[in-house]
Amino acid sequence: MSDHSFEYWSSMAETLDHEGRAFIDGQFCPAAQSATFDCISPIDGKVLAKVAHCDQADVDRTVTIARERFEQGVWSGLPPAKRKGILLKFAALVEQEAETLAITETLDMGKPIAHALSVDVSATVRAIQWTAEAIDKLYDEIAPTGQDELGLVTREPVGIVAAIVPWNFPMIMAAWKIAPALAMGNSVILKPSEKSPLTALRMAALAKQAGIPDGVFNVLPGFGHTTGKALALHDDVDTLVFTGSTAVARQLMVYAGESNMKRVWTEAGGKSPNVVFADAPDLDMAAEAAAEAICFNQGEVCTAGSRLLVEDAIADVFMDKVRAAVARWKPGHPLDPATTVGAIVDEAQLNRILSYIDKGQKEGAQLRVGGERVRPVEGGYFVTPTVFEGVDADMSIAREEIFGPVLSVIRFKDEAQALALANDSIYGLAAAVWTRDLSRAHRFARGLRAGSVWVNQYDGGDMTAPFGGYKQSGNGRDKSLHAFDKYSELKATWIKL
Ligand code: NAD
């Protein structure tokens, strides 16, 4: 929780002057056609800033500059230890501006200030630091040849990386991509979500201050079907990295096929199962974790534990605990440091969540907790965390990603049924299993078709663990040393001696 009061954050919000211009070649500038869009705070529906809406001309100009800088070697040609030093300075500047960045994130996308500070800013700093620290410790390979040859396997930057990110963790999602992309020596163009563009623009200024050369890191705000599409179709973008919905991820693969076959790496949607066996070590802890897994960040989390699978034998007792735990997560003013549930990112997302709550009831599930729009702040978009029980695996609330605080509870009889239910999804991002039985924990974890598996906890891991999805949750991995694979090409050089 933040040390500051609601009054402190509210008065700070009044004094902020948000930068809304694009950041190209080390300068803030309006979009080529001077187009803008309104950046609206979901807390009260008011306009926070006018933000540049970049179009094809901005994308063309930025890609040309980014390519020039790449070829000149102003960044790509620096020794890794030099890039590390500059990136560490970048991380330190982000840390210094923690409060401004946190409040900007809260105002822009509605999350509680306490979480913006303790999760978003700190994870962003850690991601940049960890990646920077790693880059001068990566060795290339020498192939096991005979005496008369030398085989070198070297990693090289891919060139121009376009990163398109979503609105739920704007800074973290950006940092997971721009940090390894920059560390590897690439030129980077970041397109933040139109729903949360402000912290990316502030980070651009800090990157420049840290010493990242002009034109090496650029930020182009705009919409998906305009700015994002222009980047994805551009013939001189080498790699496109994306976090967002599965529908858009598919579209990006089409754009790559229609243009230059750029590499496309996607972190997409999820419908993650949280599986609680009767022998879970601590049912109170499991219930608290199940509530947090769907309420944290208003349920707007790709790895949200949105399907709770509970063994019949404990279901009645356990669900009493889960209902009580979820009811403690109450929407409040996001600038109040005691608030745990903030605003939903915008009206469209709120309506999407409400429509699923309606659908769940029509399909015959029992609405046991929440399910209503509330207004802790006039004009804002808030919904109470919601629990549906008696959910059937075929219902849309059990199959589709809602991206809001709506939990679907399904009961199971035995391990085989639990595993079948857990894997019965087009997604495979994450899963959790609660059991005291070590053999079952391993067996179940191995059977799960998911990129992250947690045992007796939800959402564990740090920068050392790769993060990404099986199936339609995407391809490739963020975080850990594996992330560098997305930002490098492997070259084999064979020398006759
Ligand atoms: P989204 O797919 O609507 O948008 C993501 C980004 O893509 C935005 O910047 C948007 O402007 C851009 N975009 C949209 N259409 C585009 C197009 N045609 N061409 C190019 N760019 C386009 O997703 P969202 O609503 O911002 O975020 C929610 C989704 O993100 C959820 O599905 C969630 O699961 C997913 N997500 C996944 C992860 C993960 O790591 N797997 C993490 C966070 C969020």
Using the Cα atoms of residue 172, residue 173, residue 178 and residue 184 in order, give the sign of their dihedral: positive
Cα–chain center distance at 193? 11
Q: Which 3 state secondary structure label does DSSP give 95?
A: helix
Pairwise CA distance, residues 242 & 181, whole Å = 13
Alpha-helix residue ranges (DSSP H) falling in 363-481: 396-399, 415-423, 438-447
Pairwise CA distance, residues 265 & 244, whole Å = 11
Pairwise CA distance, residues 279 & 456, whole Å = 11
Ligand 1 centroid to residue 461 C-alpha, Å:
23
What is the predicted pLDDT for the residue at 3? 82
- Name the active-site residue from 302, 311, 401, 415: 302
What is the predicted pLDDT for the residue at 2? 62
Q: Which candidate, 21, 17, 18, 19, places its Cα nearest to that of 53?
A: 21
Ligand 1 centroid to residue 372 C-alpha, Å:
26
For a substitution probing ligand 1, which of 108, 178, 193, 477 has the most ligand atoms within 8 Å of its CB? 193
Per the annotation, the verdict on 302 as an active-site residue is yes
Ligand 1 centroid to residue 175 C-alpha, Å:
15
Q: Which candidate, 376, 457, 361, places its Cα nearest to that of 6?
A: 376
Q: What contacts 390, CB < 8 A, 6 or more positions away?
A: 364, 365, 366, 409
What is the predicted pLDDT for the residue at 357? 98
Per the annotation, the verdict on 378 as an active-site residue is no
Pairwise CA distance, residues 356 & 153, whole Å = 51
For a substitution probing ligand 1, which of 56, 237, 243, 250 has the most ligand atoms within 8 Å of its CB? 243
CA distances from 487 to 134, 239, 447 (A): 14, 8, 30
Answer whether 243 contacts ligand 1 (Cβ < 6 A).
yes
Pairwise CA distance, residues 178 & 347, whole Å = 29
The residues that bridge with 434 in the sheet, in sequence order, are: 276
Kind and range of the H or E element at 187? strand 187-191
Answer whether 194 contacts ligand 1 (Cβ < 6 A).
yes
- Name the active-site residue from 105, 194, 267, 311: 267
Answer whether 368 contacts ligand 1 (Cβ < 6 A).
no
Instruction: Centre a 10 Å sphere on the Cβ of residue 247 and count the other Cβ atoms it contains.
Output: 11
Q: Which atom, in ligand 1's list, is nearest to the CA of 246?
A: 32
Tell me if 168 sits within 8 A of 109, measured CB to CB.
yes
Tell me if 292 sits within 8 A of 306, measured CB to CB.
no
Answer whether 269 contacts ligand 1 (Cβ < 6 A).
yes
171: its two tokens: 């800074």
The pTM of this model reads 0.98
The residues that bridge with 307 in the sheet, in sequence order, are: 273, 408
At residue 24, φ and ψ (nearest 5 deg) are: -130, 130
Question: Within the chain, which residues score under 70 in pLDDT?
Answer: 1-2
**Which residue's CA lies nearest to atom 19 of ligand 1?**
229
